[in-house]
Structure 1
Amino acid sequence: MIMKQEPSHLAEIVSFFALHHGLTKREREIVYCLSKHGYSNKRLGNELGITEKTVKNHIAKIQEKTRASSTRELLAMVLEQFTVHHRMMADKAMKLAL
């Protein structure tokens, strides 16, 4: 799994996002790759070992589950989740410092 190869805040946020929206493991990987690299469907397919058509099907299902009208909106939702997560972590650190 691609996300396990590279631990990061992005992987944590995408995992939370995926859990919140009921995404499958493969859908979570696709959201992670899109968020990190902005891959084209063809490149995503090559990276994940699936066809471009399968990538398109997964993205359509992800958009359905998240109610995103486009890949751009989906990525904006992940970015918003990242911002919320970052703000919560900063608030937590501030409380610990006091």
Structure 2
Amino acid sequence: SLQKNESERLVLSDPLNDVLILVESLTLVDVDALNDVLALVESLTLVDVDPLNDVLALAESERLVLVDSLNDVLVLVESLTLVDVDALTDVLALNESERLALA
């Protein structure tokens, strides 16, 4: 049972790494955009309140958009972890029979 779990982890590790890289890239891109907005907010604090409210609304919408993107990635991660165990077992059995045939 432990060996089976380990092999499932190995099979899933490549797609999972791809997703984690995507998450990392999303957070890096989003942080830069958010920092730009926050810098703009900072520069507007000494000016008119109405434009400041517009910028704050933009910052909030930016955060909401980023959450949606991250949620999509998390759903993808979840679906990868729920890969059909029966199909995975079939692949592992085929792999084992290939090794025996070659030996």
Q: Same fold (TM over 0.5)?
A: no
TM-score range, shorter chain: 0.3 to 0.5
Q: Which has the higher helix share?
A: 2
Higher-Rg member (1/2): 2
TM-score, normalised on structure 2? 0.37
Larger RCO, structure (CA 8 Å, separation 6 or more): 2
